[in-house]
Amino acid sequence: MINQEKIKETINMVQIIEKLFADLKTKPSKKDKSIGYISEIEEFIDILNIIKLILLDYNSPENSISFKGKIINQSKINIVRLFNLQDLFCSTLSKLDTKCLEEGNLPVFCRNIRQITKKWKPIDKFNKEFTMHFLCNAHIDLAWLWRKAESVEICRGTFNSVLNLMKEYPGFTYTQSQALVYEWMEEKYPKIFNGIKRAVKKGSWEIIGNMWVEPDCNIPDTESMARQFFYGNKYFREKFGIKSKIGWIVDSFGYNWNLPQFFKQCGIENFITQKISWNDTNEFPYHIFWWEAPDGSKVLTYFPFTSYVLDIATQKDLYKAVGVLPKFEKNTGLKDILVLAGVGDHGGGPTKEMLDKIEILKKMPFFPKVKYITANKYFELLRNSTNLKSLPVWKDELYLEYHRGALTGLYNLWGSIGIVVERCSISRMQKYLRIRTQNNVISVIARSF
C-alpha cells in the first residue's frame, strides 16, 4: 500500500507546479516563441489534476458514502493495481525538476514532462476505462423570477441555438422535457418547432419526461399529477408520435412516495433527478437504485452527483464532474457515468464553448472517454451492464433536506403582503419590500393575488 504521506507530497508538488506556472505567466516574455510551450504546460497541469482527482483521491474519505453505519463499497477496481498506479505517478513526478520552470526555461521543462508522461501509459489506460456520457440539456424554470412572455423567449433562444449547434457538431444530442414549451414553439415559432420535429426524427433531439411541465411533487393532488402525465403524453404522441419511458423532474423540492406508481401507470420505467444532492444534513446513499412506491410499483432511478446543468467549458465544473468518478464507481461498481451538461434556470442549454471543450476532451490523453448520449441510451446501457436484482431498493419519499418551509414560507410572505396592502400606504409598502418604484410595488401586489 502506498504511503499516504507520499500522496500528500505529490499533491503538494502539483500545487507548486501550478503556482510556478501562474507566476511565470505574469512575467514579460517573447510570446511568439513561448506560446506553444505555454499551451503544452497548461495541458500538463490539467493532466496532473485529472490524475489526482481519479487516482490519488480514490481513497479519500470524501469518496465514500455511509448508510446506517456501513460504508457502501461496490467497487470492482483491483486495489493492488490502484496502489501500483498511485506509486508510479508519485515516484515519477517527484523526480521532475521544477527549477527550469521557475527560471522560465520552457523548452527544457516541456522536454522533461514529455519524458515523464511516456511512463504514465498504464495510468492513461486506467483513466480511459471510465466513460463520461454528456447529456446536454437546458433546465428551464417556466415561472420563477420572470413572467410567461419572457419564458417563451427563453425557449425560443435556447432551442434556436441548439438547432444551429446540431448543424455544426455531428453526434451532438440534446434532451428537453415539458410539453408546454413545445406548444409555445408550435404556436409562436413554427419554424423552430418544425426544426425540432426534424431533429427528433433524426434522433439528435430527445423528448423526455412525458409531463406538461416539471411540477412540484409535494403539494399537487392525485388528479393534478394524473393530468400532468395525461396531457403531456397526449401532446407528445399527437405531435411527435412518441412516448418517453423516462421520468425527468430535476428541480422539485422533494418527491412524494407515490410517484413511482404514477410513472408505471403512464408507461415510464426509469427516472432521473438530482435535487436530493442539495441535502444539507444527510447524504443520500444511492445513485443507481430501484425506487418503490407503497403499492410495489418501482422504477430504475439514476441520481447524479452533480447538478442538472454543468458548464463543462469551465475548469471548475469540469473538475467537479471528473472528481465524482471514484465516488460513483465505489457507490455503483460502474465506470459509465451520466453528466448533465448545459446552462439552466433561465435557459441557454449547451454552448459552443462547451461543445468545443468536449471535442478537445475526446482527444486529450489521461482524460476518461467522452461521448454524447441521450437518457434513453444511458438507461439501456445500465440495464444491459447491471445486475438489476442486486440494486438497492428505496421504499420511501425522496425527501429534500433543504429549502425547508419554502412552500409554507411563501404562503406566509404573501399573507404578510396582503396585510400590508390593507393597512399601509404605497410608501410604506416600498419600504417593506425594499422596492424602489411605485410601479414595481403595484406589479408585485398584482402578481400575488
pLDDT at 260: 97
Per-residue model confidence (pLDDT) at position 347: 85
**How is domain 131-394 classified at the architecture level of CATH?**
Alpha-Beta Barrel (3.20)
Tens-digit pLDDT profile for residues 370-400: 999 999 999 999 999 889 999 999 999 999 9
Question: Cβ(361)–Cβ(370) under 8 Å?
Answer: yes
Q: Please give the positions annotated as active site.
A: 251
Condensed to tens digits (0 to 9), the pLDDT of residues 149-189 reads: 999 999 999 999 999 999 999 999 999 999 999 999 999 99
The segments of the chain whose pLDDT lies below 70 read: 1, 28-33, 409-449
